Amino acid sequence: MKDNIKEINIANKQALPPAPCRQVMQKGSDMPRKQQRQAQAAGDQSQALQAYQIIEEMIVNTKLAPGAKVSEKALSEAIGLGRTPIREALQRLAAEGTVQILPRAGVIIAPIDIADQFRLIEVRRDLERLLAGRAAREASPAQREAFLDLATRFRCAADENDAELFIDTDREFNQLVMAAARNKYAQVAMSAIQAQTRRFWYLYFSRFGDLHKVSVHHAAIAEAIAAEDEAAARTASDALVDYVEGYTRKTLEAMCAT
């Protein structure tokens, strides 16, 4: 019996490759696991971003109205994503002030404070001026071509009074400005502001806004960036925010009068 055990042990030892080969094999076997972990992490981030975009859109278009109470479970079932990416998306929305997370009480869609929009506009003015100027200076040739295309689409939206075209073009414009400006800190700050701005726009613009004017203002910024004209881009940005401030004041006055 001992001889048989000895023979098996000898056979097993002979079957093993030399130590250096085992180390190479072990390193090689670790690589797929590492790649799997990286792929899983990337997938988790992708799902969290997808969840964020879907939930934010539901909030902007008031499918999730201000003051509504929701849960991770309900959102997970409605969207078709796991609760982990839903939780991460809600945490990002909470940091932006779009939702309020209450321990053991769920998630509340934050109300819109019209008066608070003026404090937001104050910050937005400086950030958008900074981003527009940097984009005019830093944009690549391909990005400048894209800005020209966006300017054309904005002017089409103005001429045809096409709100859907404006919304789609504005989303691309905001993303391209931030990418071209190449300032991650301004980008993070602006993302939170844009989330609040879009909610306010969706709720009140059809009643108090002017689609032609806002489209033309956006086109002017895009054209200045495409032309590498920093001063013109900053001036056009200020003109847009001037319009936004006036529209917000008009909205507030109308709401107070009712």
The Cβ-side half-sphere exposure at 241, using a 13 Å CA radius, reads: 23
- Give the start-to-end residue ranges of the domains of the chain: 17-109, 117-257
Contact, 191 vs 96, CB < 8 A? yes
- DSSP string of 80-128, one letter each residue: T--HHHHHHHHHHHHHTTSEEEETTTEEEEPPP-TTTHHHHHHHHHHHH
pLDDT per residue over 156-197, tens digit each? 999 999 988 998 899 899 999 999 999 989 888 888 788 788
What does the block give as tokens for 159? 């001429």
Neighbours of 248 (CB within 10 A): 21
d(CA 213, CA 209): 9
Question: What is 17-109's CATH number?
Answer: 1.10.10.10
Superfamily of segment(s) 117-257: GntR ligand-binding domain-like (1.20.120.530)
Place of tokens 């690589």: 31
| Residues 158-161: contacts with CB under 8 Å, at least 24 apart | 158/211, 158/212, 158/213, 158/215, 158/216, 158/219, 159/212, 161/211, 161/212
pLDDT per residue over 92-143, tens digit each? 999 888 899 988 778 999 888 877 888 889 999 999 999 999 999 999 999 9
pLDDT per residue over 42-76, tens digit each? 455 688 989 998 998 898 888 898 899 999 999 99
Total-model pTM: 0.71
Q: What is the pLDDT of residue 42?
A: 45
Contacts of residue 159, defined as CB under 8 A and 6 or more positions apart, other chains included, come to 212
